Structure 1
Amino acid sequence: MILVFRHFFYKNYVGLSLWPFIFLKDDTLKSDATLINHEKIHLRQQLELLVIPFYFLYVLEWLLKTIWYLDSYKAYQNLSFEREAYANEQNEQYLQKRKAFSFMKYLWLGKKA
């Protein structure tokens, strides 16, 4: 289910997945197939990790990478969950072919998947 909630977002962020919802910054983004696919990839990640552990691992990885990079935005960009979603967001068939726990191959720093 896609919901629009303008006041939920910080700076340039426009979408967020919180199982089972996709929150968007404004109504026009509903037609952005790339963004919606990106958020659907996150929903699949959340589901396969049974939701709550996903959020725990997401925050833990972000904290560790923030320390590693000394930059919270660079840490965000290098999260395994985000790297998988950004790498495959333009492939509308990705979720049909995606293997479980595919984010793992994006986990290691500097590794190009």
Structure 2
Amino acid sequence: MIAATPLGGTPSPTQELSDDAQEEPRITQRQIFREQQEEARPRLRPLLRDAYERGATSDWSDLLRRPQEPELDLEGDAGLLEAATPETYLAVSRYDLPPVRA
């Protein structure tokens, strides 16, 4: 919330209360997120390790679910994960990723 401050530069009590009221849900959301990450860590750590090991010993095309080359889409899509370096551009659709092994 943006509120005007008095000429002295001190926020009004109403502004301080509303800032505190806004901060409380943010703190709660961050705490919930951290707890969820901690709960997921034991499950995700071996999956991530396995993914790195498979990636190190596999050709990138072996990691695709389908044996065919991926399609080149120049239109763009909000559902794509995109990355770029000066030499390379890569966009991966979530539907082209291998399934998560549990």
TM-score w.r.t. structure 1 length?
A: 0.22
Q: Which has the larger radius of gyration?
A: 2
TM-score w.r.t. structure 2 length?
A: 0.24
